[in-house]
């Protein structure tokens, strides 16, 4: 099986590392990295993320059975539509974007482009990663035990969806199938809001106070080290759902502010502790 990875950075590189040693349907997987920076692609090859690479997207995808687009969310749909005419018939294009509805809707609006090329698009999002980017931080076990959401649209096709799910399972992920809208609502609460809160918390403290910051502050603001441009685009692309989550969070802060006794505060904190403790085994990667 031939796979093309457009954007062999942290996530794209980890996909390559996870899938290259495997066989699907008895066929060994071969991964081609696609991008514009030769030095980065050569690094991905040396690190074992890709077998080969191409600086020409058309050449890089032409023989691929599956194309993973691992780019910022505002570039995914237009890249899928741009490369579709150069893919072989029956090829599947998928992505790893942290927002799904805006991407899937944009591709569905141009469904004719995919139909004429005989190509399918399946939206997906592995809930894994790290605040540090670059293929230097990619890992073969990045997706082990993580949840990978598959969010089909009108241009997906059941066979293509099953293939994408099979690949994520092969990479070690647990697969959940959601509509693009359901994905965005859930991720607004569990990912987009936490990033916004981490940025806000970091900004609420002056530089002069940082020498007194301990592990609690460091842990709570770890994801504020994530790429600002990348996360600004993610949150803007899912602004409606993220704002809903912000309002819920503000309400929880108000409960703390209004609590007038130790038992009242303790009940709030105990409820939060129970929920957080249920996440045992889940960690930032």
User: Domain locations in the chain?
Assistant: 2-178, 183-277
Please state, as a whole number, how many other Cβ atoms lie within 10 Å of the Cβ of residue 71.
20
Strands 23-24, 2-6: pairing is unpaired
Query: What number of CA atoms fall less than 13 Å from residue 33's CA on the CB side?
Result: 32
Domain 183-277 sits in CATH at 1.10.3660.10
CA–CA separation, 185 and 181 (whole Å): 6
Query: What's the whole-model pTM score?
Result: 0.92
Which residues, at least 6 apart from 4, have a Cβ–Cβ distance to it below 8 Å?
Answer: 31, 32, 33, 34, 60, 61, 64, 66, 67, 68
User: What parts of the chain have a pLDDT lower than 50?
Assistant: 284-285
Question: What pLDDT, on a 0 to 100 scale, did the predictor assign at position 283?
Answer: 52
Question: What pLDDT, on a 0 to 100 scale, did the predictor assign at position 285?
Answer: 42
Question: What pLDDT, on a 0 to 100 scale, did the predictor assign at position 22?
Answer: 93
Which residues, at least 6 apart from 60, have a Cβ–Cβ distance to it below 8 Å?
Answer: 4, 6, 32, 33, 34, 53, 54
Q: Which strands, in side-by-side order, build the sheet including 174-177?
A: 52-54, 30-34, 2-6, 66-69, 92-95, 120-126, 147-152, 174-177
As a whole number, the mean pLDDT across the chain is 95
Domain 2-178 sits in CATH at 3.40.50.720
Question: What pLDDT, on a 0 to 100 scale, did the predictor assign at position 282?
Answer: 63
Please state, as a whole number, how many other Cβ atoms lie within 10 Å of the Cβ of residue 272.
12
Only one residue has tokens 């020498």, namely 211
b/e code 180-208 from CB counts within 10 Å (16+ = b): beebbbbbbeebbbebbbbbeebeeeeee
Percentages helix, strand, coil for the chain (3-state, rounded to 5) are 55, 15, 30
């Amino acid at each position: 099986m031939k796979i093309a990875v457009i954007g062999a950075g942290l996530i794209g590189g980890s996909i390559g590392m996870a899938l290259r040693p495997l066989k699907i349907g008895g066929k060994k997987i071969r991964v081609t990295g696609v991008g514009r920076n030769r030095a980065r692609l050569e690094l991905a090859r040396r690190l074992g993320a890709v077998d080969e690479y191409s600086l020409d997207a058309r050449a890089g995808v032409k023989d691929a059975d599956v194309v993973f687009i691992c780019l910022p969310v505002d570039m995914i749909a237009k890249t899928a539509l741009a490369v579709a005419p150069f893919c072989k018939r029956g090829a599947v294009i998928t992505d790893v974007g942290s927002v799904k509805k805006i991407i899937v809707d944009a591709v569905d609006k141009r469904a004719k482009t995919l139909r004429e090329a005989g190509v399918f698009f399946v939206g997906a999002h592995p809930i894994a990663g790290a605040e540090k980017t670059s293929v230097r931080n990619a890992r073969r076990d990045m997706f082990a035990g993580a949840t990978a959401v598959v969010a089909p649209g009108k241009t997906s096709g059941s066979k293509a969806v099953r293939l994408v799910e099979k690949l994520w399972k092969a990479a070690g992920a647990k697969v959940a199938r959601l509509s693009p809208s359901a994905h965005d609502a859930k991720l607004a609460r569990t990912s987009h809001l936490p990033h916004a809160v981490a940025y806000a918390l970091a900004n609420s403290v002056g530089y002069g106070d940082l020498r007194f910051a301990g592990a609690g502050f460091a842990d709570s603001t770890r994801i504020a080290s994530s790429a600002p441009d990348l996360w600004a685009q993610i949150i803007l692309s899912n602004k409606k759902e993220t704002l809903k989550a912000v309002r819920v969070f503000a309400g929880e802060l108000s409960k703390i502010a209004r609590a007038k006794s130790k038992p009242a505060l303790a009940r709030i904190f105990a409820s939060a502790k129970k929920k957080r403790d249920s996440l045992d085994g889940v960690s930032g990667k």
